[in-house]
Structure 1
Amino acid sequence: RGIAAPLMVVRGDGALVSAAFARQRPIETILSGPAASLVGARHMTGLDDAVVSDIGGTTTDVAVLDKGRPRLDPEGATVGGFRTMVEAVAMRTFGLGGDSEVALEDGVLSPKILLGPRRLVPLALAGMVHGEAVTSELERQLRAPNPGRMDGRFAVRTGVPERLAAGLTAPEARLYEAIGSVPLALDRLLTSNAQNATLNRLVSRGLVHISGFTPSDAAHVLGKQANWDAATARLGAELFARKRDGRG
């Protein structure tokens, strides 16, 4: 139809560049997601000066619109603690997102609640998709006289093609075989601490998701969110509330 629509990519300072430029200098796209959020926020609000908060799956990114443009970091973006000298949006990132793992600090008398950095599938989402397979296991764990370390946690395959599971070690292959497309409670799946490390390797390879309690579940329990299954989220919250500190 004669449509000229060249592929454009957002750069880390919020500007648009051609796909050819991005292919030649991909490092220029550092922090392009938050930069695009800033540009989008200005378009949606019409504000020239604003503090913009972009809450995603695992992080909350806060940046500033200054006279209609993203405020840039004069010393370049910081990635992994290193200054890159790539001009990009000045941004603060916090490990709080809708899918952030909610955990309790291990081995201390007065543990803090920890958020992230790992991403989990929210229990409310797993409950909506898989129903009884998830809720019946949570109810079983709640009926137990004592809380378990793996309560409220499930493993499920991500659904990637089987060829991506090539090269697994024998223990990884056995564990992967035991996990299916329906979430399986970790207290039924894992029989040793060594298997926990094996499971984490499957997660890091993108083959398996862990489902557990997240801020999205907390939002469902508090009535601030209602798009998934609040009853499953409440079961997860009750299990999390049973966790014990260092004094038992």
Structure 2
Amino acid sequence: GLRDLGITAPLMVVRGDGALISADQARERPIETILSGPAASIVGARWMTGAQSALVSDIGGTTTDVAVLRDGRPAIDPAGAQVGPWRTMVEAVAMRTTGLGGDSELHVQDEGLIGGVTLGPRRVIPISLIAHEAPDIVHPVLDDQLRSTTPGEFDARFLRAVPGIDAGGLQDRDRVLLDRIGDAVRPVSEVLKTRMEAQALRRLVTRGLVQVAGVTPSDASHVLGRVDAWDAEAAR
């Protein structure tokens, strides 16, 4: 344990308003830790920058949390933390959350007269990460797709089965699709044979049996040189 490492400091937990409470207090009243993650981000931003007043944006994998630092303290929501449509009456930071993050799926709008790009709300594995983990599979597929004269519906999209998840009770079509994916990373274009199988894939993803990889803001960060954690070449 920690004592074996010579660490005798008490374990403290961040409360939803940015204050610290003991582990025993958190165990007795876990509700007090609602929004403790964003609260810790605000306190951390204050400590790192020394700013007394600031707008703090915490961008994670799936969400972006925005809160206000006033006079060196997080602004508190007077109505209490909100979870979905419910007010908890627990004092916590005033925060706005958007379902967009570094792993939000990028969609290219190519129907109709107006094109464009949208993000989210689904989280996917970044292309740069899946290529880092399976370069021999991902790079040849991406190269073939780039050489194609027409873009494909499933370009830069890959699938990976999640090991250790109970797959009991699957419909026959879902089972066939899961077996087709197997243990390796597979391009979506090779897995889906019919439109009906797209529905089966959605069910597998919803159950957590399959993960989808696609283009994300994390890939854009690799292309721009702001991040160098995975495979930037695949992101390009």
Which whole-Å deviations, capped at 9, do the CAs of 1:16-50 have from their partners, x for residues lacking one? Answer: 33455545544433222111111222232333322
TM-score, normalized by length of structure 1? 0.81
d(CA) in 1 for partners of 2:207, 2:11: 30
d(CA) in 1 for partners of 2:168, 2:226: 42
Per the alignment, in what secondary structure is the counterpart of residue 165 of structure 1?
Answer: coil
Q: Which residue of 1 aligns with 2:107?
A: 103
Per the alignment, in what secondary structure is the counterpart of residue 96 of structure 1?
Answer: coil
Verify: 1:63 aligned to 2:67, yes or no.
yes
Kept in 2, the 8 Å contact 1:95–1:115? The answer is no
Verify: 1:213 aligned to 2:221, yes or no.
no
C-alpha RMSD of matched pairs (Å): 2.5
TM-score, normalized by length of structure 2? 0.85
Kept in 2, the 8 Å contact 1:60–1:94? The answer is yes
Quote how far apart the aligned CAs of 1:74 are.
1.1
d(CA) in 1 for partners of 2:81, 2:71: 21
d(CA) in 2 for partners of 1:32, 1:167: 37
Runs of 5+ unmatched residues, structure 2 = none
CA, structure 1 residues 135+8, in 2 after alignment: closer, same or farther (shift >3 Å)?
A: same
Per the alignment, in what secondary structure is the counterpart of residue 218 of structure 2?
Answer: helix
CA, structure 1 residues 63+204, in 2 after alignment: closer, same or farther (shift >3 Å)?
A: same
Runs of 5+ unmatched residues, structure 1 = 235-248
CA, structure 1 residues 82+131, in 2 after alignment: closer, same or farther (shift >3 Å)?
A: same
Q: Which residue of 2 aligns with 1:237?
A: none
Quote how far apart the aligned CAs of 1:203 are.
1.9
d(CA) in 1 for partners of 2:169, 2:73: 48
Q: Number of matched residues? A: 232
Q: Which residue of 2 aligns with 1:85?
A: 89
Quote how far apart the aligned CAs of 1:12 are.
1.8
CA, structure 1 residues 4+170, in 2 after alignment: closer, same or farther (shift >3 Å)?
A: farther
Verify: 1:30 aligned to 2:21, yes or no.
no
1:11 to 15, 38, 57: 15
Quote how far apart the aligned CAs of 1:81 are.
4.3
